Structure 1
Amino acid sequence: MKKKTLVLGASENPSRYSNIAINRLASHKQPVVAIGLREGSVAGVSIQKEKVPFEDVDTVTLYLGPPRQEEYYDYIVSLRPKRVIFNPGTENPEFYRLLQRENIEVEVACTLVLLSTNQY
């Protein structure tokens, strides 16, 4: 099943987990959109700098630490994703509660592991 994913905290740096995630999502034929600090491209996916009002986002996968997430709270909720994945290092109980009040699933997991074990 195709799950449009927003990678938040995307980077063109191939050693960054966000970059690896974009590549793996693309190789699994999942539709991907991305937002990062700088514009660029990974695996044919354009990285945007602005909070683009993407439609039909199923999953947001976070690669931003808690202090950097706060400016995206309202934006993520406005996208109405089914779930938000908090990758290692992005855990944020305050944000979990906000998302759960909006009936958005919180998953504390690693996108790369979920993909490699067919649990995505």
Structure 2
Amino acid sequence: MLHNAAQTYQTNQVTTAAPSELTLMLYNGAIKFVKQAKQSVSEKNYAKSHEACIKVQQILYELLNSLNKDYPISKDFERMYDYMLRRTVEANMRKDIAILDEVEDLFVQFRDTWKEAIALAKHQG
């Protein structure tokens, strides 16, 4: 019962969120799953690590697919997301925590910058 309520709440959050908030949710989700992958590798639970890495990859595909190509900066985002995707695949294959640390750091930088951009946009609007 409680699980269903939490799932309903989460679904409502996603369906009512602004696009900028959805991007923030994707960054936060990716960070959560990278942490899970790292923890699972350290515990030698490679199946769980694999599942977490696949979720990170799915988030990166979503970020890539949602890029607005009308803006020149989207090319830079595309290159970075592609790089992070390739590194996540490599980390998954090698079960390499150092690579996952790198991917996590990049997601944290994206997330923190995105939060600042949202705050600036709200302040200006």
Tell me the TM-score range normalised by the shorter chain.
under 0.3
Q: Which has the larger radius of gyration?
A: 2
Between Structure 1 and Structure 2, which shows a larger proportion of helix residues?
2
TM-score by length of 2: 0.25
Highest RCO, 1 vs 2 (Cα 8 Å, sep ≥ 6): 2
TM-score by length of 1: 0.25
